[in-house]
Amino acid sequence: PRLANQIAAGEVVERPASVVKELIENCLDAGATRIDVEIEQGGIKLIRVRDNGSGIRKDDLPLSLSRHATSKVYSLDELEALGSLGFRGEALASVASVSRLTLTSKPADQENAWQVQSQGRDMDSEVSPAAHTDGTTVEVRDLFFNTPARRKFLRTEKTEFNHLEEVIKRQALSRFDVAFSLRHNNKTIHSLRPAHSTAEQQRRIAQLLKPEFMQNSLIIDVERAGLKMQGWVGLPTFSRSMADMQYFFVNGRVVRDKVIAHAVKQAYRDVLYHGRQPCFVLYLELDSSGVDVNVHPTKHEVRFRDQRLVHDFLFSQLHHALAQVRP
């Protein structure tokens, strides 16, 4: 079964960033309100993710590392979108099969914390006592140590860290209610408290993106015909080309989509100087029946039932907002 895990791992575990994405999603699923991420050497040497969520019971610890061992109920739509076998219940097993993994956890109603370890295909079936407050820590060391072919595809420490930081940025931008921290090689990169008010959210965005973005942006907060859009759009005067500062969330998930990109580009068309890129952090909410968010773990695709409606809403609202600053 561990060999099957390694094959499946190729699909979920591409690089340190994909490990971090899966681990943080698990923390959020467990209801965590605080997530601390510690990284060494771009995640190649160490990824440690700690949360204060619901935890895993002692007896369930070994199970959590085995394949198809999900404790979660997925909707039929989600499973369909994933294809017949899918990835669910496989993330931890997949990561475990290509690393040295330690899983430590303590549910609030359990007196002590317990731990399981695995080294690639060998799982130590022993559950041993550990020290841990309420919640879970997953420690992933030496990613791909037993799959040299895949290890060869890893880029420099810096590149891998950039990918990983991007994953955390997106998650921190989509969950203002959760505290996040990120350390790399013993240096604090981000330390984010929960952000409830608009001012706190703006502070978080300023910390995650360029602080100048906040000082050079307009607040968007509009609702029409079942479509709701909130967020911030950078002013044309915010002159640098920052294609990496484009964040669009649909019902809480980050997406990249042609319809959205086109609408935004059109709205900025007569205010942006040549060669500049629009910068934005925008949240679109609509009834789930109006949108199909592909839940494939690595894609960020979306399909709107009424593409024209969404396109025209985005275009007209953004165009209208930007008109305030048009020369």
- Shortest gap between Cβ of 16 and ligand ADP (angstroms)? 16
Partners of 248 in the β-ladder: 282
Find the radius of gyration of the CA atoms of the chain.
21
Q: Does 136 bind Mg ion (CB under 5 A)?
A: no
* Residue 30 site contact among Mg ion, ligand ADP, none (CB < 5 to 8 Å, cut-off depends on kind): ligand ADP
Judged by beta carbon, residue 193 or residue 253, the one nearer Mg ion is 253
- Shortest gap between Cβ of 256 and Mg ion (angstroms)? 22
* Neighbouring residues of 215: CB distance < 8 A, sequence distance ≥ 6: none
Judged by beta carbon, residue 10 or residue 211, the one nearer ligand ADP is 10
Between CA 162 and CA 159 the distance in angstroms is: 5
- Shortest gap between Cβ of 70 and Mg ion (angstroms)? 7
* Residue 19 site contact among Mg ion, ligand ADP, none (CB < 5 to 8 Å, cut-off depends on kind): none
Is the torsion defined by CA of 84, 300, 290, 283 positive or negative?
Answer: positive
Q: Does 26 bind Mg ion (CB under 5 A)?
A: yes
Strand order in the sheet with 246-250: 217-224, 227-234, 280-285, 246-250, 253-254
Residues 67-96 that bind Mg ion (CB under 5 A): 91
Number of residues that bind Mg ion (CB under 5 A): 2
Interacting residue ranges for ligand ADP, rule: CB under 6 A = 22, 26-27, 29-30, 51, 53-56, 64, 69-72, 88-93, 136
Residue for token pair 């969520």: 53
The backbone torsions φ and ψ at residue 57, rounded to the nearest 5 degrees and listed phi first, read -65, 150
Judged by beta carbon, residue 58 or residue 311, the one nearer ligand ADP is 58
Q: DSSP for 42-99?
A: GGTSEEEEEE-SS---GGGHHHHTSTT---SPPPHHHHHHH-SS-STT-HHHHHHHTS
Judged by beta carbon, residue 203 or residue 296, the one nearer Mg ion is 296
Residues that bind Mg ion (CB under 5 A): 26, 91
